[in-house]
Every structure is written in C-alpha cells, then in structure tokens.
Structure 1
Amino acid sequence: MITKKLVIGAAVAGCIGLAAIAQSTTQEETPAEMALKPVKLMLVEEAEATLTRQFFGKVVARKTVDLAFQVAGQIQDFPVIEGTRIEQGALVAQLDLRPFELALEQARLQKEQADRTVDRLEKLKGSTVGQVAIDDAVTSAGLAEIALENAEIALEDATLLAPFDALVASRSVENFTTISAGTPVVRLHDMSEIRVEVDLPEVLVQKAGLAEKVNVLAKFPSSATEYPLEVRELTAETSAIGQTYSATFGMQAPEGLSVLPGSSVTVTATLAQDDGGIIVPASAIAIDTDGSTYVYVFRPTGAAEGSLTKAMVTVEPTDDGEVRVVSGLTPGEEIAVAGVNELNDGMQVRRFAGFGN
C-alpha cells in the first residue's frame, strides 16, 4: 500500500513539474512577440502657399441716376413700371407738350417778324433810316433766334428718355403731377454689369497689392455657381469703424441669373503668397529642452514597420493655426503627426491604419 502511494505521488509531482516548465517557456516568449507602437503619419508635400478669406458683400448697380425734367410742367405720360427693365431710348415720362409747342410757335413767329424788320430797314438805309435803327433791329433778330432755340430745347426737355438699358428702381411722383424743373421723377439702375461692394481688412489689401495672383469669386444665394470678379474700384481711405477699405468688384451679368441692387453675395478672395515652406499640423512639432523644434521622420523597414528619426526643423506660425516648416524637411518624407511627446529617436513603430488594426 505504501509503495502504491509513493508511485502516485511521484506521478503527480512529475505533472506539476511539466506544467511549470511549460508556463515558464510561454512567459519567456511573450516579450519577443510584443506588437509595435502604432503611429499616425503624414506625407510631407510642398503645398502652394495661399491666403483665403471670405466676406459678405452686397450687389450695387454700375450707376444709379435720378432722372428729372429740366423744365416745369404737368406729367401727362408716365409708362414705366417699378422693377421692370427698359431699353436705352425708351420713353420714361413726358410732360403736357401743348404749352411748349405754343411757346415754340410764338418764338418762331417773333423770329420771322424780326428778320422782316431787318430786311425792311436795310432797304431804307441812307434815306430815312439811320444805322442805329438798323443795328437795333439786327440785335432784336438775334435775340429772337436765341428765344427760338430755347423754345426748341424746352420742347425736347419735356420728354424723358432712358439714357441706357436700365432697371426701373422707383417712381418718385405719380402721373399728372405738376412738377418744377429739377424735381426727380424716377430712379434708374444701370445693370449692364453687376457690381459687388465689400469691406476688406487692411492686411488683405496690403498683401493683395504685393501678390502676383489674386482670385476673387462671388456666390449668390440663388445659385451654386461661383463667378469670377474683377476689381473696379478701391477706396484710398479706411472707414471710420473697423479700419477697412471699401472695394468694388465687377462681373458681366450671366444668363439666367437675376440679382437686384442690395442683394447679398458671398465673396471669396484667394491670393498666392511667396512664403513657401511645408505646412504641417501643430501636433507634429515637438519642442526640445533648449527651445529648438523637431519632428520624427518615419524610415520604413517593411510594409508597415519602420523606425523614427529625430529631425531638427525651423518653423513659423501661419494664420490658420498650422505650422510652416521653413527648413529641415524634404517633400516625400513621412512624419509622425500625433503623440510626438511619447516617441523617441530610433523607436521601432508601425503605421497607424485605423482603430480596427
């Protein structure tokens, strides 16, 4: 019985020993098979340095005029309707022409009478008529001619015609109103070209003056299309509030797009800059104890594995919160862009390909 118990005990002890050896072997293999640290990388590219800003502007007419009669009278014909378009030379308004026609006929008769008087006195010259009387008659004939011309001009001024293809903005008076000379009767907009007014900050104006290429686009609420704009005017003085300059841009009115003065428009201005360099996120830059800046460049050793190399760089901030690398990087290299404070020079890592990996 004792012998049997000893055999069983030895067998159990042997099993326990084998299990311990197997466990020890497994624990020694795990460190060698540990996974490499995943690192998010970015391909370094030489990007075109541009400055883009967006503004809200308003549509204005190429020119706006308030038409008025240069003579007094009663409006007899006023066919234009607010909000409609009229062609150049179209009738805008007309006064009652009868007083002007009568005045013209009277001036014509007075001119004829003055001419006859001069002819009669010329024939009697030297007998019963002196030179003074003839000179006075000639002067009266000249004054009658001027009065005739004034009557003709007054008759023409009694009719208002559109000076250009126009949009009728508003009528200031009603038909059959008696008005004095110079009283505005209608406001017209010249919409042959769409004008856009925008207030620009002085920084953008200064940079735009030095840039070789400035691209300005307009987008209207009623259309998804962006239309190129050209500079027409730029005020030489800043506004009292905001230190901005008023700029006026122009574009030809495209077919199918109907915009009215006062309409809102979004203007996007993009200008190329000569700053150069490579733009990287601020998270890619690490700061050394002496204040110098550096990045970690990824050197591939396999399909997804590689090592990190510390590279000193010279940087400067950009307007949009990113960092411009002036020197120390070459386009085509890959750099770590996240968790750089947890990385080390020469560290073996693998590409971060997503949380599923």
Structure 2
Amino acid sequence: MIIRKFLILPLTCGLMLSSCQSPADTAAPDPVATIDVALVTTGNIDEKITLYGAAEANGAGKYTLSAPMEALVQAVDAPVGTQVRRGQILVRLSPSPTARLDLVTASANASAADLAHARARRLRADGLVSDADVETARAAKQTADAARASLATRNGALVLRAPASGTVEIVGASAGELVAPGTTIVSLVKEGDLRARFGVDPAIARRIPQGSYVEITAAGSKTPFNVPVLSVDSVVDPVTKLASVYVQIPDESGVGAGESLTGRVLLGNIPGGMTIPYAALLDDGGQPYVFVIAQNVAKRRDIVAGPRTGDRISVASGLKPGERVATAGVTALEDGMKVRIQSAKK
C-alpha cells in the first residue's frame, strides 16, 4: 500500500503542474525569416536586350560539295566548325559496290565498242558494210568511251577537298554511310564571309538605333567581342515569328559556322529610373512582385518591371526610392512574415 501511495503522488503532481501552465506558455513563436535587403535606388538605366542566334554563311561565300556517284563515306577529316585551308581534305569517299560494278561494266562496254568499230572499218574496206554501218559503230564507240571516262572522272573525285579557305558549316553524312549521287556532303563558308543572324521581336527590331553595336559571346566562351549591326530585317520569319538582326563576324573571333551566339544590344537610356537587384524579383503567374521590408516585417508589393541591366532591373511603378526590398531568402517569405535582416546592401 505504501508503494502505491508513492506512485500516485508524483502522477498527481504532474497533472497539477501541467494544468497550471497558461496557453501563452505553450503557443509556438511566430516564424522569423533571415534575409538580406537592398535599397530601391534611382539613376540612369541602360535599356539592353539579349539576342540569341548563330553564325552562318554570308550568301555568295558558301561552297557545297556533293557525292559524284553512289559512294560510301570512308572518313570525315574536317567536322563541323573546323577551319580549313584551300586544298585540305574534308571527306574521303569510296565507290559503292554498285558504282564499282557500273565502272567495270562501262569499261567492258567501251572495249567491246572499240572492237566493233575496228571490225566495221575492216569490213568497210572489204566492201562488206556501208559507210552508215561504220558511222553507227563509231557513234557507239564514242558513247561508250564517254561513259567510261565520266565514271573514271567521278571515281577520281571521291576525295573532297576545300575549294577555298574557310570554315566547315555542314557535314551531311557520317563515316560508313551510303550516299546517293548528288547528295550534299559538305558545306564550306569562305574565310572572311561569316555573319551572325539573331532573332528579335519585330516591335523591338524597330527600336534598334542606327549605328548600334552588338556585344557577342560565343557558346562556351567568356570573352565577348563588339561588332556593328549590318542590317535589321523587319520581315517576320514564318516559323519563329521573329525579325532578324545581322552582324559581320570577324575572322579573329574564332567563331565557326553554325556556332550558337548570344548578343546584347543597347536600345536606349532611361534617365532617373528606379532599379532594384534582379535577385529581389519574384513572379506570380506573370505578375512581378517583391517583398518590401518595413519594421522587420515583409509585405508583398506588386510592381511593373522594366528592362534589365546587368544584375539590376528597372521598376516603372510600385516602389519608392529608399524603400528596402528582400534580396536573399525571398522564396521562404510570406506576406506579413517577421524577418531578421542578415545584411543590407545598396
């Protein structure tokens, strides 16, 4: 019995203590997010757009090499993007089994026609055939000789060489592939005749100032180069629905035909515009917004965003200069959430 009393007493005290705790003691604390903030600033804004395109041949400076007969691709010595000199081997072909048979047949036919012509001439000398028979044999010989010569010439043209210095733009077949006569095997862009074509929204294309320059960066490269705009073609491509911006690619850039390029072009300058770090910008179904921080509380604010310049973006409306916006930890924020500021930037 004594033991029972001792067991009951602690349990009773525990129940009494728990019943004495107030709701305030058990309530969870308000969530607090740790963030970085930056000020809404004003200044001149360079309105730049990013263009995407590729290097391509400049019309007349393009060479196309085709298979002279049905052939097998033995080797591709110069893949796409290779810079080659005049006379350099691009692709090696060999006659297909059918082409070899055609050559053997043509040689046999030519030999038979030669013998037939010689026999006709002998018979004519003996008065056994007419001049017309000799002429027929001669014509048949000529046709057979021409067919043999043509096949022999095409057989000798199975090593495709660069007709001029330039860059390989297209290789239309791979090693081991059987290609039909006339199939395009290689396209070569003549040296110094490479341009870039960028697609651009037609409305923006009309805003590109005359004499503009494009800052171009090749895929995989960190070194940009600047070139002037050659022309702006406002005709809309039926597939992409974009207009075109053309620039000349300098030889020293090292860019090859078909290479993907990114360009940046200045449309204009906006004086006295507001900007915020691009990292502060969020999107809700197409509506851009930010979190404005006041008295350590985050408040959602819808804005009208303008052009981006570097790591900042302009704001047309929705903010005031000097306000603070969250720039780090923003994805964890909710409207009205308390925050702890980790660092503040301009």
TM class by shorter chain equals: 0.3 to 0.5
Higher relative contact order (CA 8 A, sep 6+): 2
Report the TM-score when normalising by structure 1: 0.47
Determine which structure has more spread, i.e. the larger CA radius of gyration.
1
